[in-house]
Amino acid sequence: MESNDRPAKSSSLDAPEAGPEPKTSSPSPAAGEVNLAQGHQLQRGLKSRHIQFLALGGAIGTGLFIGSGQILATVGPAPLFMAYLVQMGVVWVVMNDLAEMTSYLPMKGISIPYFVGRFVEPSLAFACGWNYWYAYAILVAAESTAGAIIFQYWTHSVNVAVWIAIQLLVILFLNIVAVSWFGEAEFWFASVKLITIIGLIILGIILFFGGGPDHDPLYFKNWQSPPGAFVPYLASGAFGRFLAFWTAFARAGFSFITSPELIALSAGETMSPRRNIPKAAKRFVWRLLVFYGFGSLVIGVLVPNDDKQLLSPDSNASASPFVIGIQRAGIPVLNHLINAAVLTSAWSAGNAFCFSGSRVLYSMALNGQAPRYFAITSKRGVPYVAVLFTLAIASLAFLNVSNTSAVAFQWFSNISTISGFVAWIVVMLTYLRFRQAMQFHGMLGSLPFRTPLQPYATYFVLFIVTLLTLTNGFQVFVPKNWSAANFLAAYITIPIFLVLYLGHKIWFRTPFATRLEDVDVMTGKKEMDELEEMDQPRIPRNALERFWFWLA
């Protein structure tokens, strides 16, 4: 793959100083664009349907198809259903925060750390960027591990390392070739997943009313006692039921972490960003509500929480509650089809996470927060060095060769979940600072996209996610459940993040926060306004096109 001769020039994320010369970006020769680098450019090759399905593809993965079974087995169907619904409220607020910022400045090369450094301060941006990057890299490893588990459902005669290598090579190909190829592949990957989950929801409704081979209606039999809708956790009575919900709430985060950021990270490569980003953001949560709301409800209808397969020591694809439900209903062949769909799910999510991790690293390199060679792009505009480095870390999935897949998957999911919670805390702090700066400069009314209940919703969710971060591993503090490995998996991200943050702050002596009067809310606005003016919305020619434009 050919590349440009030099990495892009980096720009500081230090607090912008007053003066006519912007320090955070430089104008591009092309009208209506601002680039964070000169000479190495990402391309606007992602359409509306690409970014919408990119976010859905990242959200609907093994967390729903496999991880939900672990929650069901631990706490029962009611906490599972409630946890997903409440967690989607958290995702809605985080998505709204990101959509407001990125639709205001959808510049090429932006990422979450760029906004953190511009609106808050550089040390937090540095720690945030590296936290995001390794979370995405570990998520690729987690999805590759899940994919290997699914392959082994059909055969154990092939070494697990072969399945992991195949998956990583396909992800590498799709992320290296070109962004338009990546977007198209992710669109079709996500389409298969969405069709699958819709089909499973319909199947669950049919079985609910007795449409299975034995014509025995399931209704809410599995919610009745025993085993019951709630399985008290670590305590009895109401407190045990609350702990069951809180445990499910924390574990449900694995299904959603980093998925709102996928739309924001693709903003610089999105066509008509001020039109397509708000559209994708508004539809994203409602679609999640349908898929996760009905999906988790169907799981609790199909499978009792005491089904032994949910706690299988092998924890292979047969542990998917959907597959177990199909087996219990006596439907042949369909279990293999669903496992194939779960494989597509893992592959799609890993594909999206590799894309996001490489773009975070690319943007950090442009802004001086990572080595400059990560900003090198090919002639097609692909940051291939960042892609290769992200996949190098994702190769930790090969730990499966010397450990069971269940152990590796649990470790990867725990690490990435707490990293995602920390990232959301930083996103919400950044949004609050951004909003304060826009108010200070009298520009709040100029935002192209405004969301309801702000800033109060962000303050409330910030408190909830902070509490989740601090208590997500509370189980290990019960003497009979103490485990050093589980403690590290639940909390290791917090000291790593603090070391990155405090180390950068001490070394570079950065301020606690950029003063509001110094926060730069202007650089890039003029060019993005020009880009918006050049946008020509497509006009549907018939009812079919009108429906397609609404859908995608």
**Mean pLDDT computed over 243-254:** 92
Confidence of residue 203 (pLDDT cuts 50, 70, 90): very high
Strands 34-35 and 26-27: antiparallel
Closest by Cα among 97, 106, 124 to 25:
106
Q: Which residues contact 427 (CB under 8 A, 6 or more apart)?
A: 94, 97, 98, 112, 261
Rounded to an integer, what distance in angstroms lies between the CA atom of residue 291 and that of residue 304? 20
**Mean pLDDT computed over 159-186:** 78
Residue 7, pLDDT > 60, answer no
Cβ density class 97-135: b for 16+ within 10 Å, e for less? bbbbbbbbbbbbbbbbbbbbbbbbbbbbbbbbbbbbbbb
Rounded (10°) angle between helices 68-75 and 321-329: 70
Within 102-160, strands assigned E span none
**Mean pLDDT computed over 442-447:** 88
Q: Which residues contact 251 (CB under 8 A, 6 or more apart)?
A: 67, 70, 71, 74, 83, 417
Structure tokens at 338: 């669903």
- Give the pLDDT confidence score for residue 403 in this predicted structure: 61
Which residues, listed in sequence order, are joined to residue 46 by a DSSP beta bridge? Answer: 270
**Mean pLDDT computed over 214-230:** 84
**Mean pLDDT computed over 147-170:** 82
Rounded to an integer, what distance in angstroms lies between the CA atom of residue 421 and that of residue 198? 28
Amino acid sitting at position 129: G
* pLDDT, tens digit (0-9, with 9 covering 90-100), for 63-102: 888 788 888 888 999 999 999 999 999 999 999 999 999 8
- Give the pLDDT confidence score for residue 17 in this predicted structure: 34
Mean pLDDT of the chain: 80
Rounded to an integer, what distance in angstroms lies between the CA atom of residue 336 and that of residue 356? 30
* pLDDT, tens digit (0-9, with 9 covering 90-100), for 452-467: 998 999 999 999 999 9
Choose the weakest-confidence range: 30-34, 445-449, 510-514: 30-34
Q: Whose structure tokens read 């104008």?
A: 27
**Mean pLDDT computed over 365-393:** 86
If you compute the radius of gyration of the chain from its CA atoms, what whole number of angstroms results? Answer: 23
Closest by Cα among 197, 169, 205 to 63:
197
Which residues, listed in sequence order, are joined to residue 27 by a DSSP beta bridge? Answer: 34
* pLDDT, tens digit (0-9, with 9 covering 90-100), for 14-48: 333 333 333 333 333 333 444 454 444 455 555 55
State yes or no: cis peptide before 227, omega within 30 of 0: yes
C-alpha pair distances (Å), 517 with each of 116, 122, 171, 450: 16, 16, 44, 22
Q: How many helices (H) and strands (E) does the chain have?
A: 21, 2
Structure tokens at 94: 């985080």
State yes or no: cis peptide before 226, omega within 30 of 0: yes
Query: pLDDT > 70: what percent of the chain?
Result: 80
Predicted TM-score (pTM) above 0.75: yes
